[in-house]
Chains A and B, each alone.
Chain A
């Protein structure tokens, strides 16, 4: 299984040390890159999308060299890639594998949908409680207390 997985990763050439984020829905790949601010990274970043996946049809994948994410950092992507897996690579080998978890709280990455919210009027870091509610995810703004469905969330 592990060998199989490694071979598949070779489609977007292998990395020596770093993190692979796999099982990203194909249409969320660029959101993931944005949420993790990978465009500002000095390290090598490889990515691919519309790759075949047994589970999801088409998936995206990101490989970041020499970068190991803190879990609360990477959990932010759970909003757009709830089933993403995180693979830690050392010396071309998978040393740890985990699945992202939806955080209880998110900051910065989403804009409040309420045009009359203070966060859309002044320079304020947005902040939301994540409400996991019967299959749907909702974001409750810490400031205006209005709730947005995940589908309607606008990423900053």
Chain B
């Protein structure tokens, strides 16, 4: 993976994805390792995403790398009308690897083609966010001991959520059974379902969350955004339909883990946080280990 860019999860083979998860385990054991002391990591956030940026910067810092960059387009030369091409070429003079988030779809792929140094996509518009997918896979493997043969429920906005689409695509490599819980108007798009079918796997669609809880190993909750609805009454109706509370977990499997890409609004009640099955904060922390693994593998020190 040395010197390779990571733009879409499919840029890395199944074996390479697994290798990243294995390296990440080493960083979970020992998070602080001074192995990137001679490297400069640039974090270019053309749109703000404090959570993702801090996770990358924490990962780089724990490995001893220097971090340069900006946290919004307003604080960069982009606000003066500089093209992405010019920004990337300039920054690549100052750094060994570029972590980039950008509001425009495909911007990361383009950056990786003009940049002489590797690029990690930290989200390009509505398109891809592969480090989220890898940290989700890491979290599933961590809680279940395996990625194979699991029953996984995705809950909420399955139509627009790129997190769900990418993770679904990745999980089709592991004989997953998919349980898709959403309002009718936010069902998983047919091209993603098609991908499940093409891999001879099964999916089941539900509108009721309660019914699937006893049958799954992972409940992956997502946020339902108000702006997705043309009818605000409809939004009010569905937002409460997927509010997971602790009492609903009574019949769940002992190995079950609750995940969420965060930030949450009201889809997981605060009383779930103290349940040992609540995994979403650990999941966010796992993002640091996975990003450490990516930096180390791409810079060629692991």
Contact = CB atoms under 8 A, between A and B. Distances in A.
A18 B12 CA distance: 47
A116 B191 contact: no
Nearest to B194: A133
A144 B85 CA distance: 16
A118 B191 contact: no
Question: Chain A interface mostly helix, strand, loop or mixed?
Answer: loop
Contact of B125 (A116, A124, A147): A116
Contacts, number: 48
A141 B105 CA distance: 10
Contact of B128 (A117, A123, A124, A145): A145
A146 B105 CA distance: 9
Which range holds the interface residue count of chain A? 10 to 19
Given A116-B126, A118-B84, A122-B84, A142 B105 contact: no
Contact of B106 (A123, A144, A147): A144
A114 interface: yes
Contacts of A142: 106, 109
A143 interface: yes
A122 B125 contact: no
Contact of B127 (A119, A121, A122, A144): A144
B172 interface: no
Contacts of B247: none
Interface string A134-156: 00000001111111000000000
A141 to B, nearest CB: 7
Given A118-B110, A124-B110, A144 B84 contact: no
A123 B85 CA distance: 9
Contacts of B85: 122
B110 A143 contact: yes
Contacts of B126: 116
18 contacts: A116-B104, A116-B125, A116-B126, A118-B109, A119-B106, A121-B107, A122-B83, A122-B84, A123-B83, A124-B110, A142-B109, A143-B105, A144-B105, A144-B106, A144-B124, A145-B8, A145-B128, A146-B127
